[in-house]
Chain A
Amino acid sequence: ETGVTQTPRHLVMGMTNKKSLKCEQHLGHNAMYWYKQSAKKPLELMFVYNFKEQTENNSVPSRFSPECPNSSHLFLHLHTLQPEDSALYLCASSQDPLAGAGVFGPGTRLTVL
């Protein structure tokens, strides 16, 4: 039980599809993150939210659109993705953004055909 849940765990989508990844935490954390792990690359930070406000966008293409309706939920909306976007997408949360990403979710394995 990690405290951070992600759905779906696996997703296969075409380049013209629109889908969303969901992340949920009930740890009382104020900061939430999206990370991407591509094959043979380090984890890359995509977005940081602090108290529902986006505080960092790490030069992510606009085909990835985050949404944080409250401090417990974080979404990543996907549209017109490319095959090179296939990766493991990890959500994480922490008490505050200066503490770094403390608790990770299990990730969503995304395949773009």
Chain B
Amino acid sequence: ILNVEQSPQSLHVQEGDSTNFTCSFPSSNFYALHWYRWETAKSPEALFVMTLNGDEKKKGRISATLNTKEGYSYLYIKGSQPEDSATYLCAFEGSGYALNFGKGTSLLVTP
């Protein structure tokens, strides 16, 4: 099992605030880095799959960057809305089929 760390563990912001959180992962044997959003009582939803160093992906107000050499990825949410409240999971994919998940960052956005 590879060490995938996410920080902070939880975050509480006001509507309209921009926020970001971090996923750190092993920098060797890198294949892909996945981000998921997991809302309470729903299935995890895939946000991004990132494979190249320097990759930047964007989906609406959410974007992510990737640094495979130093082993980290940032997820940014611009102008947070209450519907962004969820747990954001990152998962490291190395060789083989296993995705190694972090524990997630739990985001609460209040009006």
Contacts and interface: CB of A to CB of B under 8 A. Distances in A.
Residue of A48, A58, A104 most packed against chain B (CB within 10 A): A104
A98 B98 CA distance: 9
Nearest to B42: A106
Nearest to B36: A104
Interface residues of A, number: 26
Q: How large is the interface on B (under 10, 10 to 19, 20 to 34, 35 or more residues)?
A: 20 to 34
B103 A41 contact: yes
Contacts of A40: 103
B91 A56 contact: no
Interface in B49-97: 49, 89, 91, 93, 96-97
Interface of A: 2, 4, 31, 40-45, 48, 50, 55-56, 58, 90, 97-107
A56 B96 contact: yes
Nearest to B6: A42
Contacts of A99: 49
A41 B93 CA distance: 18
